[in-house]
Amino acid sequence: MKRLFQISTALVLATLMSTTILPEDAEAQSALYNYDESKVGPYTLPDPLVCADGTKIADAKAWREKRRPEILELFRTHVYGRSPAKLGKLVHELGAADSKALDGKATRQEIRIFLDGKKGGHCMTLLLYVPNGAKQPVPAFLGMNFEGNHTIDNDPGITITEQWTWDAKEKTSKLVKPNEATRGKSIGRWPLEVILARGYAVATVTRADVEPDYAAGWKHGLRAALSKVGANTQWKADDWGAVAAWGWGLSRALDYLETRGDVDAKRVALIGHSRLGKASLWAGAEDERFAMVISNNSGEGGAALARRNFGETVERINTSFPHWFCTNFKKYNQDVSALPVDAHELISLIAPRPVYVASAEEDKWADPKGEFLSAKHAEPVYQLLGKKGLGTSDWPPVNTPVGETIGYHVRTGKHDVTDYDWACYLGFADRHFKK
């Protein structure tokens, strides 16, 4: 039987802050979920260094050849589903480069990447900023945005693109072009000039270009485009969901970055917030070309331990967002202890590459303590591979970053990406990319 190790009482019974911030769709039912640390109860985690046959992994070779592939397959089968192999040839179109973007601080370019490998087929638009005057090639931050490339900055040169959305009133999908007023809507999450000034390129694509984020969105997205029968596809229990589709798209963005001479594709930090943090963690687990992975408030189905009875649950996420994961994941709605993997093993799949997990004090729905514990319990894998982890067993105070190859902080505030978060990520990237 697979060996399990017990979570220490000291780590489980710490007290969280009292403020509760919930997503809008869950707030009305907040009484159904636990926010009392003393009621979490005991639980056990699968040991990332013990194989299904009971073999204890003792060296890097055994991890690489036996245990890592085993854990990866478990996540594919039971959580995210199976993504297809990448297409043989990268098909893309380059937009015009503007070397005077952001008052001359950067060169901006938009690149259409055809995800089905067909010119004129299903595509995503990658928005790329490269700092002017930097010694090239430069490292980069790559991330997916929520509502369109044009929302990350007020730059009028960014194209506003049409997106498939769900009309709840008419109960149908609609192709909508956002209006000009949405330009720069999410500028607070993307401090472009700060990142560029530190010598990093910034690359982003909107999630809807890859797959619209609603239950029927896949019919207008990547999964239908790659299926032989398109919108008539009948998904198998371990077929990929939207999170895996978004992650697959991020890997195709990296395919493109590998073709450029001004970006160092071997120093790309993959970053994601909330549901897109889940996608970044999974993309980083499947695609080892990503040099660093950053999870910002990714919560359930991301960096938070599923077995902890705190905040959002497996049942809740599968009910609210049935399209995010594979069908098999729903088997664990009522018995999460039967799930053969947990989030600490997802983080361990990124080893020995640097990984940063961040939480927000008021974001109880995402279980900040559970995110810390995942990072902590991935540490044995990092140590086996000769890397330092968090360097502490205690959940750190707010606004106190910790860790070496595994980084972590919990900051004051709500479920968001802030300047404080970016300051930590830039410092972490500097330490690992600019030695």
User: CA angle 114-118-123, nearest 5°?
Assistant: 25
Looking at residues 54-74, what average pLDDT do you find? 98
Residue 12 pLDDT > 90: no
Between residues 63 and 31, which one has the greater pLDDT?
63
Catalytic residue among 344, 377, 415, 432: 415
Q: What is the pLDDT of residue 136?
A: 87
Amino acid at 197: A
Residues 347 and 401 sit within 8 Å (Cβ to Cβ): no
Residue-wise pLDDT tens digits, 109-128:
999 999 999 999 999 999 99
Cα gap 161→248, rounded to integer Å: 21
Closest CA to 91 of 123, 136, 68: 123
Residue 337 known to be catalytic: no
Q: What is the pLDDT of residue 435?
A: 77
Residue-wise pLDDT tens digits, 369-378:
999 999 999 9
Looking at residues 52-69, what average pLDDT do you find? 98
Looking at residues 313-327, what average pLDDT do you find? 98
Q: What is the pLDDT of residue 383?
A: 98
Residue 170 pLDDT > 80: yes
Residue-wise pLDDT tens digits, 127-140:
999 999 999 899 99
Residue 415 known to be catalytic: yes
Looking at residues 150-173, what average pLDDT do you find? 95
Residue-wise pLDDT tens digits, 321-343:
999 999 999 999 999 999 999 99
Confidence of residue 30 (pLDDT cuts 50, 70, 90): low
Beta bridge partners of 355: 293, 406
Catalytic residue among 83, 274, 298, 348: 274
